Structure 1
Amino acid sequence: MRPTRAEMEAARDRLVPDVLGDDLRVLFCGINPGLWTAATGYHFARPGNRFWPALHASGFTPRCFRPDEQSELTALGFGITNVVARPTARADELTAEEYAAGGRILAAKVARHRPRWLAVAGVTAYRAAFADRRAAVGPQSGTLGDTRIWVLPSPSGLNAHWSAAALAAEFARLREAAGAPELPGAGLTA
């Protein structure tokens, strides 16, 4: 589905439901839904977003899932949420207060669902949500209860600092740390 500009603007108040299940190995966490995502109701839905290709190329999924197949992740032990629920055209529209409140909400969600790993896709969002100015991409020393934390680079197409191959390699580091098997068929996709 390719939403129109009007559909995307109308989606500014639409919440995108989390993809959650029991006994998650990794809960992936985006910064916040973009308007395309909000209009479609599927996480990481904008065509230029590299989340789904990186997930596949790193071995988390046996093929490159489409955003509308997001519910299939729970059977593999993975879920998706966001730091901030409010959809925006760009993440820089979010306030420091929204990030801080989002961090508290995310911590409560993690306490309730107890995934083994929380993977926040965006170092700036992680720093703002958890007041950790020194956080860098990779595993974090702190935890949320028993949940370990990994900060991933943002998969947004706007994040030109990370190539598709480097992004997939970082996702693969997380997969290995989380003890998730490399699924057959993994590899870089277009």
Structure 2
Amino acid sequence: MGRGARLSDRIRPGVRILFVGINPGLRSAQMGHHFAGPSNRFWKLLYESRLVTEPMTYQEDARLPEWGLGLTNIVSRPSRGIDSLSPQEYRGGMAALTRKVRRYRPRTVALLGITIYRIMYGAELSLPPQIPLGLTSSNIAGVPIFLLPNPSGRNAHYGYASMLAAFRALHTFAGQSTIPDT
């Protein structure tokens, strides 16, 4: 896959959790897999929180639906960072996300980063400077939203222990599949 390549969503109807990122990084686009950056902690957090019961790597992202997990992004265009994304891309991505939630009916939408939540609901909800992680009062098409820290290595706001605690809280809220569906 090249730099501008779009990553495929990893989702099927009825997943327990649909993880939603902002957009793919250049490394992920180059590798053709979600969360492929060497400093990204997503895969380690999935395993250590027991959302999956075996270690996984970015090369196995297509297996997420077997575990009842899905993965998509607000903006499908890869970039070095979110500063290059336009308000139009966010608006279009939010509309597309709502359509996906209606179509696939996940039990929980897990937003990977407070930035996503601010973009989606900041003006509407008059959000405070410090937004707590966890279950929010918002929903997408009736599906509850659970807020997680962004697992990117660039996220200096949360240490690994805080990230893991949030992923474990999601596990408690959404439940766990002990073996993958096949």
Instruction: Calculate the TM-score normalised by the size of structure 2.
Output: 0.88
Correspondence for 1:170 among 155, 166, 172: 166
Q: Aligned AA for 1:35?
A: L
Correspondence for 1:69 among 60, 69, 74: 60
Where has structure 1 moved over 2 Å in runs of 4 or more? 129-133
Correspondence for 1:52 among 36, 43, 56: 43
Deviation track 1:114-145 (CA, whole Å, cap 9, x = no partner) reads: 10001010111222134455154221112122
2:140 counterpart residue number: 144
Q: Distance in 2 between matches of 1:93 and 1:155?
A: 20
2:29 counterpart residue number: 38
Correspondence for 1:179 among 160, 164, 175: 175
Report the alpha carbon displacement of residue 146 of structure 1 after superposing the two structures with TM: 3.0
Indicate conservation of the 8 Å contact 2:52/2:176, yes or no: no
1:188 counterpart residue number: none
Local SS of the residue matching 1:28: strand
Deviation track 1:166-185 (CA, whole Å, cap 9, x = no partner) reads: 1011011011111225x59x
Q: Distance in 2 between matches of 1:31 and 1:64?
A: 24
Report the alpha carbon displacement of residue 64 of structure 1 after superposing the two structures with TM: 2.3
Q: Aligned AA for 2:150?
A: S
Q: Aligned AA for 1:122?
A: G
Equivalent residue pairs, number? 174
- Structure 2 CA distance for partners of 1:130 and 1:104, relative to 1, 3 Å: farther
Report the alpha carbon displacement of residue 102 of structure 1 after superposing the two structures with TM: 1.1
Gaps of 5+ in 1: 1-6, 185-190
Instruction: Calculate the TM-score normalised by the size of structure 1.
Output: 0.85
Indicate conservation of the 8 Å contact 2:13/2:103, yes or no: no
The share of aligned pairs that are identical, in percent, is 37
Deviation track 1:19-61 (CA, whole Å, cap 9, x = no partner) reads: 0123200001111000111111111111101111111111111
